[in-house]
Structure 1
């Protein structure tokens, strides 16, 4: 039986079929080069070359980058901040499923790799979280989620509405209220809703940012390194939530991962970024080919060392507690750190702030037979904080964000601030000659990539040979080559027998040393600490 359609009917059927194809395609980039705005095709090197990428409804994608800037550039492309040439043709364009809506209003990105800050001379006080006294520091997570509930006194004058009341209660529909309650429960943030934002830990802050992004209900959410800095126990909950949201398209989710990150089971496809080349396809095929290619290239061998169990005690914590009213953050922590020792911990900012002296309660730990906090052989209360901090080298997400980026500050200048006092010319000369990096050391610090800035700040933390080195999520923002080079340096010559190292991480394979090197672990769960070899 044959069915004959008139011209108008055929046109309508064609349009309907095209709309169906568009609605089934989330992202469409058919064979294009990607440039920065202002670059000319004929003379400029594209950021991505011959990119051919299509994301269909029902597929689950992860974008994997080997260099620190690659994922950032890829997501910036999706946000319209890079030029795609030729641009995906109409009617669908870059996001066919959004037709006829505006992509800028329906595509969001949340990045957890440390972002490169612009130049600025101020060093802000990242220890304020331990004593929020300014009114603007008292804004809670709940108020952050619902700014309309803020007291008028908290809102900056230029943002105040003269007709507003002092306090506004948010009225949500039963469906929206249930959605909010479910998201808060699944993110593990219910008990933190009425805490000041500034008092949240790194992991809690990251979960709060994801919650805020989901609550705005975009159609497509780009999450860059969402697992970085998260406790082991919170990763499965977050991944399950993201999978559930992606399956229900509320919103669709595309993950950004580092090359060393495990790929979630529910991911079906990956886009592998290597320089200007992007390889896309089913996860199992792409990752299998990549594993064969790099099987021997990434192998490293740890240097064998022996921990000196009788080395001088750098930090001695006995029954240390940190408590805010009835909420105990640390409970009876017992921990000794010795010279020529390496300890790993699970990203607990409060505990580190006790050792560095940043936390006000480090002063109030009573010295007695049953409890004390001794640092470098003396009670914490008897050590001036500036002197204490001169004995400790630190690289952490907070330090990275807080470090001033003054115009004209060179790599050479930044490394030099790692010495006790101001600059030490001889020490700076030795660093520069050993690294054989005359060109690099003269570069402007603010012009470096995120990974390069972190490498420089790592050298700053090590160069003065402090008695204690704290490395908190040190590899965030670094690419695979940087991580490998830094681990090798730390194992072979970066740390001496007169130093102790604490590595704070949520991934054990990120620790430069292994059990054979005498590494000890401190695991923190619900405020309690357990030391294990």
Structure 2
């Protein structure tokens, strides 16, 4: 069934679902037939409790849903669910695991779990909650209730250990109770334990307290823990977010082996910009508000997406506002054992390769390549997605040092976790990490999970206790007093730094309102009283207005262009009602990004700050980081946007905003007096302003850190990204 003009039609229920071998003996493990789901019963009091913030508290979820996950199939069916953050990826996985009310109740069944085969295997697997496990990485779960988080950021770096500082090995074995019942510990197969430790590269971490794990290490440990429970189905919600390229390339083949052996069956939930493992056979693409746009084989869904984009561009159909084509330009990347193959190769990269006479074969027809016309290609080769020239050899004006590290080594006992190398400095070979960050510089810090990236940030932010004893100067001063100069306090340091990271996300109080989260940039602690003036309030209000549609999903701006000045003067009162803990994960990330930059600190640190955002939201944040309210994307349909014909960036028109033209902008981009540090494993999340980089070696290799300088945004040349990672 194809699209009709102006309307998207879901693909029909694929008849091939019931053609797998031995279907009579082995029914599907999950079957949903014309089921509609609700968070509350439609007739309950909760379902009728509307409010200004939530006028539709109990909308139907995935109306008349049809889906079937075979217990065994030939050939195998390996599913991935794609869609933006507001589309319901996590909700779909929750439905598969038995969550949410199904109407009619008989529409959802787990027939294979009721079979004699499962009874003989383990009668506990008859319960969907035991047989179907979901592993999510939404910033709320961490390592789960089995691994308590530290009370403060520096706890993970301290040498003192509490009774509940369980090791990774304890966590994997399930030995995380202070007073366990005699038979409460799980019986973990030794061979399975050794296998997941090897496959997920946890061998060097098994004796480490779980509270000391980095973001990427935590993800690997959680996947390993889920695999050891041997579920029948494992639902992985954004499994690749935050993983470094080497781990990504080793994780996908391991997951493939599990999926092909049906031990367990896997369903992945991915963002549109995430690479799709080549072994995935079937896709569901979601549009906004828990609705399916396309469903079927991978090739068919990608073909439907390609056809939809072409039809919209040629005005054959009206664009679906829940699935704008600019949100699809990164869909279709393929994760292979050799690396990521771009499904929609950027025109910037094509132009660069042409310039270097390194033309490669055309992208296969089955991807989303070739969706743009030649006319648009010619317009897309001048700027990065955040408004920087793709080839830029000019050096920025740099000022005084903000961070000086002279031979840093971080040791826990006899183990050196950072700086275990010798480095060439001014013609001499010296021990440890030597590094300097100056005003005006834009640095990227890269390296595998566990290589010490977050440790470097902890030294800069003075969360690490060893900051006192190491040769480090922060903002021109030492932590300890020097002759004629007092030491700099931790509050003095952190007042000059804006920081967004998974660790900050873990510790920020969920009870704060959205406005309080941004005001917290002027506080000494997470719950401290902010010291605000009129300028601070203006900046906070400007950020809230600019990102209203991202912070308050479903909101739309109203009013006429003539009311611009009056609208800008208004206080966004809705931010006083929204609780941070009640926001979608992507919106929480936006709020923490704004908290890091709103004060215009001397140093901005973005550690995986854009993970969990959709590509469209991420690009708006990147543009705001570089240009503030002065520049915008014409596609955003914002009240303050203008839409002239100007050179385009990677998929968007970047134009001067109406609010800038009117001289009403309160927030600008990074200034020459500020410095930036960015950490990310995702190429698209690196700001276009990054020019200096350091790539840390894998822990315990004794290889030196590698330094370099880019001649333009990473987006402009895949070779720049490959050089950083030594590929």
Q: Which TM-score applies when normalising by structure 1?
A: 0.83
Q: In structure 2, what is the Cα distance between the partners aligned to 1:171 and 1:205?
A: 22
RMSD: 3.0
Find the partner of 1:139 among 166, 171, 189: 166
Q: In structure 2, what is the Cα distance between the partners aligned to 1:25 and 1:171?
A: 28
Find the partner of 1:209 among 211, 217, 222: 222
The answer to whether 1:374 aligns with 2:377 is no
Q: Per-residue displacement from partner, 1:464-486 (whole Å, max 9, x unpaired)?
A: 11111111111223233322221
* Paired residues of 2:174 and 2:186 also in contact (CA < 8 A): no
Q: In structure 2, what is the Cα distance between the partners aligned to 1:171 and 1:98?
A: 22
Corresponding residue number in structure 2 for 1:440: 574
The answer to whether 1:55 aligns with 2:69 is yes
Find the partner of 1:289 among 304, 307, 324: 304
Partner of 2:577, secondary structure, is coil
Q: Per-residue displacement from partner, 1:359-413 (whole Å, max 9, x unpaired)?
A: 1122221xxxxxx32221223443211111111111111111101123xx42222
The answer to whether 1:356 aligns with 2:359 is no
The answer to whether 1:398 aligns with 2:503 is yes
Q: In structure 2, what is the Cα distance between the partners aligned to 1:301 and 1:234?
A: 27
Q: In structure 1, what is the Cα distance between the partners aligned to 2:521 and 2:69?
A: 47
Residue 188 to residue 471, structure 1, CA distance change in 2 (3 Å): same
Partner of 1:418, secondary structure, is helix
Q: Which has the higher contact order (CA 8 A, sep 6+)?
A: 1
Q: Per-residue displacement from partner, 1:274-314 (whole Å, max 9, x unpaired)?
A: 12321211112213433554586257743237552532222
Count of aligned pairs: 485
State the Cα distance separating 1:418 from its structure 2 match. Answer: 0.8
The answer to whether 1:426 aligns with 2:510 is no
The answer to whether 1:503 aligns with 2:678 is yes
Q: In structure 1, what is the Cα distance between the partners aligned to 2:224 and 2:522?
A: 41
Q: Which TM-score applies when normalising by structure 2?
A: 0.62
Residue 410 to residue 116, structure 1, CA distance change in 2 (3 Å): farther
Q: In structure 2, what is the Cα distance between the partners aligned to 1:478 and 1:333?
A: 33
Q: In structure 1, what is the Cα distance between the partners aligned to 2:36 and 2:298?
A: 23
Q: In structure 1, what is the Cα distance between the partners aligned to 2:441 and 2:308?
A: 36
Partner of 1:250, secondary structure, is coil
Residue 62 to residue 432, structure 1, CA distance change in 2 (3 Å): same
Corresponding residue number in structure 2 for 1:344: 444
Partner of 2:276, secondary structure, is coil
State the Cα distance separating 1:521 from its structure 2 match. Answer: 2.0
Corresponding residue number in structure 2 for 1:257: 270
Q: Per-residue displacement from partner, 1:83-109 (whole Å, max 9, x unpaired)?
A: 2323455xxx43333224221221111
Q: In structure 2, what is the Cα distance between the partners aligned to 1:377 and 1:472?
A: 23
Q: Per-residue displacement from partner, 1:45-75 (whole Å, max 9, x unpaired)?
A: 3122332222333111111121256222111
Uncovered stretches (5+) of structure 1, i.e. residues with no partner: 1-16, 366-371
Find the partner of 1:36 among 27, 34, 39: 39
Residue 115 to residue 72, structure 1, CA distance change in 2 (3 Å): farther
User: Hey, which of these two has a bigger chunk of strand by percent?
Assistant: 1
Corresponding residue number in structure 2 for 1:95: 110
The answer to whether 1:321 aligns with 2:433 is no
Q: In structure 2, what is the Cα distance between the partners aligned to 1:137 and 1:102?
A: 31
Find the partner of 1:191 among 204, 207, 210: 204
Partner of 1:194, secondary structure, is coil
State the Cα distance separating 1:429 from its structure 2 match. Answer: 2.8
| Pairs within 5 Å for 1:462-501 | 462-493=597-628, 494-501=669-676
* Paired residues of 2:174 and 2:185 also in contact (CA < 8 A): no
* Paired residues of 2:398 and 2:440 also in contact (CA < 8 A): no
Q: In structure 2, what is the Cα distance between the partners aligned to 1:342 and 1:414?
A: 25
Corresponding residue number in structure 2 for 1:77: 95
Residue 335 to residue 288, structure 1, CA distance change in 2 (3 Å): farther
Find the partner of 1:523 among 695, 704, 711: 695
State the Cα distance separating 1:188 from its structure 2 match. Answer: 0.8
Corresponding residue number in structure 1 for 2:139: 114
Q: In structure 2, what is the Cα distance between the partners aligned to 1:18 and 1:257?
A: 29
State the Cα distance separating 1:128 from its structure 2 match. Answer: 0.8
State the Cα distance separating 1:416 from its structure 2 match. Answer: 1.1
Uncovered stretches (5+) of structure 2, i.e. residues with no partner: 1-19, 49-55, 116-125, 143-148, 311-324, 330-383, 420-431, 481-486, 525-529, 549-571, 629-668, 710-727
State the Cα distance separating 1:134 from its structure 2 match. Answer: 4.1
Q: In structure 2, what is the Cα distance between the partners aligned to 1:434 and 1:191?
A: 46
* Paired residues of 2:29 and 2:111 also in contact (CA < 8 A): yes
* Paired residues of 2:87 and 2:286 also in contact (CA < 8 A): no
